[in-house]
Structure 1
Amino acid sequence: MTAPNLFLVYVRDVERSTAFYRELLGIEPVFTSPRYVAFEAAPGMLFALWSGRPEAAVPGTPRTSEVGLMVTGGPAEVDAIHAAWAAKGVEVLEPPHDEVFGRTFVIADPDGNLVRVSPVD
């Protein structure tokens, strides 16, 4: 069996979300269409935004997953990313704090999808 290699995030406005993730992560899409945009997260692994299912991307839909960004550099790196993103005006849902897996924080994208920064396991 192969490992998962596509991670989809449902969004209402693909252009707005593409700009958000492009600015936030400093990466460019590898594929763009009117309702679907993909970024290469790692060789052979895509992180994609999709508005093809609008009933699944409404504000009242509970968010039960997170987009994760695992970083090297320890707690100082997590705090530095938080400071940089907060300066951009992102919505911080959980400020930096220590968890069982290390320093972490959580923001929301424009659709309320969760984005967590944490140390590499």
Structure 2
Amino acid sequence: MFTIDSFVLYVSDVQDSMDFYAKAFDCEPSLLSPTFAALDFADNVKITLKQTTDLTPKSEVKGGGTELSMPIADKETFDKLFSTWKSKGIEFAQEIEASVFGFNFVAVDPDGHRIRIFTH
């Protein structure tokens, strides 16, 4: 059966994106080449950052077309994460809102990739 190894996000500047993900997730991404980086994200899943100027094969697709969706176990942790990210200057496409699946907010990385955090 298949397993997922990583999600590749196309980025315009790998260093800017590394800085963003390091700040958001309190981790240290590994620069694997001048245009490619990876960070351990969840059990056996990495987020990899690939600079659009160095894609093989070339692609017309640019960054910003992806949404990572992540559940948080409880509202207290959810609220704390939102406050922490806000204090770190992370940009939000949507601040906390109630929806049919619970509470959620949407942060954006430097290329416009969306990170939706939600809880019940």
Asked if Structure 1 and Structure 2 have the same fold, meaning a TM-score greater than 0.5 normalized by the shorter chain, the answer is yes
Which TM-score tier does this pair reach, normalised by the shorter chain? Answer: 0.7 to 0.9
Alignment-derived partner of residue 96 in structure 2: 96
| Runs of 5+ unmatched residues, structure 1 | none
The alignment covers a number of residue pairs equal to 115
More displaced, 27-36 or 96-105?
Answer: 27-36
Tell me which amino acid in the other structure corresponds to 1:118.
Answer: F
RMSD: 2.1
Offset at 1:21? 0.3
Give, in whole Å, the separation in 2 of the partners of 1:7 and 1:106.
Answer: 18
Q: Tell me, yes or no, if the aligned pair for 1:70 and 1:118 is still in contact at 8 Å.
A: yes
Structure 1 segment 35-114 matched on structure 2, within 5 A: 35-51=35-51, 52-53=54-55, 55-57=60-62, 63=65, 65-72=66-73, 74-114=74-114
Tell me which amino acid in the other structure corresponds to 2:27.
Answer: I
TM (norm. structure 2) is: 0.82
Tell me which amino acid in the other structure corresponds to 1:67.
Answer: L
| Runs of 5+ unmatched residues, structure 2 | none
- 1:56 is paired with a residue whose SS is coil
Offset at 1:3? 2.4
TM (norm. structure 1) is: 0.82
1:66-118 Cα shifts (integer Å, max 9, x gaps): 1233222x222222211111111121111111222221100111111111111
